[in-house]
Structure 1
Amino acid sequence: MRHLPPHAVETFAGLYPEVPHIIEHQLCDHPLMELEALAQLAERLPAKNIEHAYAAQPIGVTGKPPVPSISAADAIRQIDTAGCWVALTFIEQDPAYRALLLSVIDELRAAIEPRTGAIHTPQAFVFVSSPNAVTPYHFDPEHNILMQIRGTKVMTQFPAGDPFYAAAEIHEAYHTGGGRELSWRDEMLPGGKDFALAPGQGLMVPVMAPHFVRNGPVPSVSLSITWRSEWSYEEGAARAFNGVLRGWGLSPALPGRWPAQNRAKAYAWRALQKLGLK
């Protein structure tokens, strides 16, 4: 059974990897996406792979939000009234969810690999959210398709690589072990683009594109399918090396968005790592 209709794959192939866009999917009725199945998954996953917090969050946060007293599994079962959001991370550890992830990736492989090369580290994440929950402003290092399974949400997405929305120093800190949460300023809002998602729709999110998410008035379930590529690894390594240069008192140029533009800095960063200097 296909999870993506052919026209969705065709649309994706024409716009990947830099243009965010909505595509259709056929995962809404998949048994692994039912609330009870996800609650049981939360009970199987290691604690380090479960994040949950209160639904009422500002767009910008400092550090990690407080953890509710209710367990993540119970929050999923009671998501209509729990007032929480739950993130199940790296769910590919579970064989059934790994098989689902890889089957979706395989449907996209012929569109992905000619543009960004071999697919590395395919991963998947599930987000279960109470009504009106907010996922604060942040970025992610992977190529990502966020698939809406239940409920609605709006992702407000900002241009990737633009230091007005995520300063170079924040990128550099992230790629050397820092967090992915970003500082929010209201003057950034006009530069964002809203993407409304309903069940059966997915949104392609470019690597490191800053965004925040607001859920609709009913509980939401989303599946995030992600992978890394030479593109994402080279940019990350170049960002990390820029952090070294900045520490030496220099003002390095921003990395490019294509791997070839970042190769020299990426090699330099990896050389420092091999020498044990970073």
Structure 2
Amino acid sequence: MHSQPFTPETIAALATAYPLAPRHLQHRIADHPLLQLDALAALARRLRPESIEFNAATDLPLGIRNDETPYTGLDVHQTIAQIESAGSWVLLKTIDQDPAYAQLMRDVLATIEPVVEPRTGKMMRLEGFIFISSPGAVTPLHFDPDYNILFQARGSKTMTFFPAGDTEMIPDPFFEQYFNGGPRNLSWREEWADRGQPIRVTPGEAIYVPILGPHWVKVDDEVSISLSLTWRSEWSFHHADACRFNSRLRKLGLSPSSPRGYPGGNRLKSYAQRALVRAERMLGRGTE
């Protein structure tokens, strides 16, 4: 890896967008040995089974539900070996459980701390993910609960973004069910297409992906390898707990106000949710 994964110009470009807007970036880690297909096949053998997802990924509707996603009949190792023709998508999750990948993640994210921490505070819960995708693979419309930079290492893809505050695309009850363990794939309406902002990346390019913003992804006509490095903030944890608290209120027949978007705070609802969880745990222990 180069001594610095980003140029000063790229750091400056991230600073103009973070944390609310997507931004096309440049990087210097596309040729890193850990991001080559043979290294990733070996990583898949080392990861815990729960850290791997794979399924069919071509010709999927943008609004497909998580439980409707088809499988190809191949196991993950066969899928990686046949990725050019498998019509599949492999996700290696929390790759930071592997020491070499954890070091790569820390080295890269440390370079953007001067941009991130003055705005959203300490970078928390750092995690790494790798996507290995067949030509034409589609990742349906969804959102992420964390801040994310996606680094393209092989092939090319287009990520299409929609505004994070669009409550028609993500109504409050959807956030509430997600943060209580529900799926994150969203429904799709064709009339939403014009709202999208497409950003295409090739090897050596990256995208900053804003937290909570709906997006979908389409791989071009060759195999794609992407590294996704993510982090959370105190604000993001308060937002998630406010959504969980609103879910409680909704079950009581109330219509709670939406959690506040950044930089607005959600501490009151968040602390109420955390207090209720602690009380429930104490009551649960007391009746055992």
Tell me the TM-score normalized by structure 2: 0.93
Find the aligned partners of 1:193 and 1:3 in 2 and give their Cα distance.
26
Shift in Å at residue 260 of structure 1? 4.6
Larger Rg over CA atoms = 2
1:2-151 aligned at under 5 Å gives the runs 2-56=4-58, 57-64=60-67, 65-151=69-155
Please tell me whether the aligned partners of residues 230 and 259 of structure 1 are also in contact (alpha carbons under 8 angstroms): no
CA contact (8 A) 2:62 2:187 kept: no
Distance in 1 of aligned mates of 2:151 and 2:188: 25
2:211 to 199, 207, 213: 207
Alignment partners' CA distance in 2, 1:197 and 1:236: 30
8 Å contact kept, 1:40–1:73: no
Runs of 4+ in 1 over 4 A off after TM superposition: none
- TM-aligned CA deviation for residue 201 of structure 1: 0.9
- Shift, 1:262, TM fit: 0.9
Contact 1:150 1:219 in 2 (8 A): yes
Aligned-pair distance for 1:256?
Answer: 1.2
Does residue 266 of structure 1 match 2:273?
no
1:72-102 deviations in Å (ceiling 9; x for gaps): 2232232212221101011000000000000
Unpaired runs of 5+ in structure 1?
none
Distance 1:270 1:189 in 2: 38
After superposition, give the CA deviation of every residue in 1:190-214 in whole Å (9 maximum; x if it has no partner): 2111111111111111111011101
Compare 253-262 and 137-146 and name the one that shifted more: 253-262
Distance 1:17 1:252 in 2: 26
Paired residues, number: 278
**How far apart, CA to CA, are the structure 1 residues paired with 2:63 and 2:174?**
14
- Whether the aligned pair in 2 keeps the contact of 1:234 and 1:259 (CA below 8 Å) is no
Structure 1 residues 219-258: aligned runs within 5 Å: 219-258=223-262
How does the TM-score come out when normalised to structure 1?
0.96
SS at match of 2:217: strand
Structure 2 stretches lacking a partner, 5+ long: none
Asked whether the equivalents of residues 52 and 68 of structure 1 are also in contact (C-alpha less than 8 Å), the reply is no
Q: Quick one: which amino acid aligns to residue 240 of structure 2?
A: G
What fraction of aligned residue pairs are identical, expressed as a percent? 43
Residue 80 of structure 2 aligns with an amino acid whose one-letter code is I
CA distance in 2, matches of 1:44, 1:116: 34
Q: In structure 1, what is the equivalent of residue 182 of structure 2?
A: 178
RMSD over aligned CA atoms reads 1.4
